[in-house]
Each structure stands twice: as C-alpha cells, then as structure tokens.
A and B are shown apart, each in its own frame.
Chain A
Amino acid sequence: MLFRQAGIFHTNYAADRALFPIAADRWMIGILLAFGFAAPLLVNSLYLSSYLLPWLIWTAGALGLNLILGWAGQFHLGYAAVMGIGAYATVHATRAGIPWEIAIVLGGSTAAIIGIGFAFAALRVKGLYLALSTLALQFVMDWVISHVPAISGGTQATLQAPDIRLLGQPITSDAGLYYVALVWCILVTSFMLNLRRTALGRALIAVREKDFAAAVIGVNSFYFKLVAFSTSSFIGGVTGAILIGTFYHAVTPEQFSVDVSIQALAMVIVGGLGSIIGSYFGAAFILLMPGAMNSLISWAAIRFGFSLSIETLAHLPQALYGALIIGFLLIEPLGLGKIYNNVRDYLLVWPFGYVKK
C-alpha cells in the first residue's frame, strides 16, 4: 500500500507535533483538497448542490457537536437550537443591512452567548441530567422562535434569507455557494485538527476522562466546559447560518427542530466520538442513508417481484436506518472513524502485522 514506510523519525519538536507526520497522509489530504476545490468543474451541478454542499455543511456542524460531545464529553441534545439561533440572528442581521461576513460572526456570537448563558445553568448537573437540560434548551428555543413574531416573522412563517454577499458581490452560482461551504468546512476541520495538539484540546480530554485528576494538574473543569460549550455553539451558529444561506435560502423553525438535533447526534455517534474523519463519514452516512435505503428497497422490490404498500415503503428505510445506528453502537461504539483507523493501522505495516507503528 501507499502507506508503507520504515518509520517516523523526527529531528525537532515542531515536526513531532506536525498534523500529518506520514507522507502518504499528506498526499491523501492534498489530493482530497485538490478534488474539493476542483469539484465544481468535475461534478455536475445537481450532485454539487444537493450532495456535496449539504455534506460539507453538516460535517462542519457535526465537528462542532463533536467538540462538546467527543472532546469535552458533555452531552448536548440541543445542538439544532444553537444552529437555529445562529441562522435567525444572521438572517435578521443581513435583512437589517449588515454585511454578510459580519452578520455570520454576529450569528455565531449570538449562539455562543446564549449557549454560554445556558451552560452556566446546565453545567451544574452531569451526564443524563445534562442531556435532559440541553433538551430543554432545544424546546425553549423552538418555542421562543415560533412564538415571537419579531424572530420568526409570525406563526408558520418562512423568513426569506437575503442572498449571500461577499465584499459586496452577491454569490448565487452553485459553485460560489459550494466554495463558501467548503471554506467553512476546511476552517472548522483545521481548528479541530489543531485541537488535537494544543493545550486546550488536552485540557478538554482531561475534563472528559477524569475531572478530579484534571483538577489536580490545575485544569479548571467548569471553565473548560464553558469554553467547549461556547466554541461549539459558535461553530454551530455559523454552520446554521451557512446552511440557510447556501442551501435552504429561507429559514423556518422546523429546520432546527428536535429531530435535527438527534440527527446531528447520530452523525457524531455513527462517525465516532472524538474522530475528525469520522464526522465526515458520519455526516455522509446520515445524509445519504435514507435515500440510499429507499432506492435499494425499490430496486429489490422490482428485482424480486414483491410489492410493498406505500406506507411500508415509507417506513422501512427509517427502521433500517435506526437498526444500523443500534448496530454501530453495539459492534463499533467508536464509529466509522475507528473502522477507518483500524484499516489504516493494518495497512500501515502490511504485510508485517507484528511490527509496531
């Protein structure tokens, strides 16, 4: 395989902390990045705007949730609410005439501020109780957004999002919108990659693993939980704003309801807690699976000549999709990211399996 090499030998500490010490990994990242930037030329615009674009945005979202769930180990069932806050704040800010670049930062900051205010109360409890109180954030936000006409534009209303403008230039082409999502996804990914090798990331893992041992080495658990909540809320808020700006083009409360929170949670769990590449896999899996299941079942129905009622057809993919998530949790709790790592570790030294990395 391409991975094979004799060993990793560093001569200075900066190289020891490099993101991708293995040359084959650097090649792979380079090729993926090149493909990412060339995609509008290579992929037809239907696939670009209905598969690649939402995949990148949801990956950024899943990474933000992974920060709080996978790194800091705090449950968050209200992530869609945070995304919704960012989306509504950005839409209102752009409608008020604020440039879009500033508006998304405002949206992210609003989400972070509300997230941190909420975290102050919620972080007094741990584990399942925290999960329940974050669920409360979801329902409170749902209610506030739909019941305050100043935010939602009235009951059952759809608020039209103004076109994205970067430096005054409106961005309306599929390629342009795709690049916005791509750049945001790369920014979030690079932040998460850096989190793996900085004091902040280590402190978050310390808080997740053993809070008493974290305290004894000088880590203030409560402070770092707040940092994790606010950073993840910022990423969520901006992601929500970009999702509206590039994909939905209009905002309604249902786009950020509780099932969207669960969906984001499923992306992180299926992808792998604390795994960056896993968030990419998880987002793809959750976005593609219902559709893929649908086509598979209709194909099988025709191929093997059985007929299913419309209702069964509608519910079967949901059931299979649920079963797959349960299967993952039972068989590989660390998700697709872990499966990828296992394969990679095997190929790294193949065929000399007894050699250590």
Chain B
Amino acid sequence: MKNHDNHISSYMLNWTVLLVLLMLTTISILAIKMHLGAYTVALALILASIKVTIVLTYFMHLKFENTMLRLMVGGVFLLFAIVIAITFTDYYFR
C-alpha cells in the first residue's frame, strides 16, 4: 500500500488550475447571456469539455500517471463519444 515516487503537485499549481476553471466558468455564463443562437450549445459543451480535461489532467493527476492508465481513460472517453454518436445516428435516421 506504500505510495512510491509519486509526483507532488504544488499548491501554486492547484491555485492556478482553480483560477483557470473559474475563468472558463465565467466565460461560459457570459457567452450564454450574449445569445449566440445555434452556437450556444456547441460553445457550452466545448467549454465544459475543456474544463473536464483540465480537472482530469491536473486535479486527478493523469498528467503524472503511467501511460497505461492514461490510455485507458482516453479509450473510455472515446468509447463514450462513439456511443453518443451511434445513438444520435440511430435516432436521426430511423
């Protein structure tokens, strides 16, 4: 159960990550207020995806994990994207 040679994230890095996440949140709220029409949904989802990637990379320490774990997480998110794509193809062309 001993944890070896793990990367230690500095407090400064954690603060910076939080600051970026809060900025992205503010941007997404402001963007919605501007009523961009059809692009609103796309923009909101892109910003959310960027935020999720930042949390996974820094708060969840994926940047400092071994390649296998990173590939697994990437693979699962890819699988999830494929499931969504197939569901929508099925829904729109039935």
Chains A and B are bound partners: no
A interface residues (Cβ-Cβ under 8 A, vs B): none
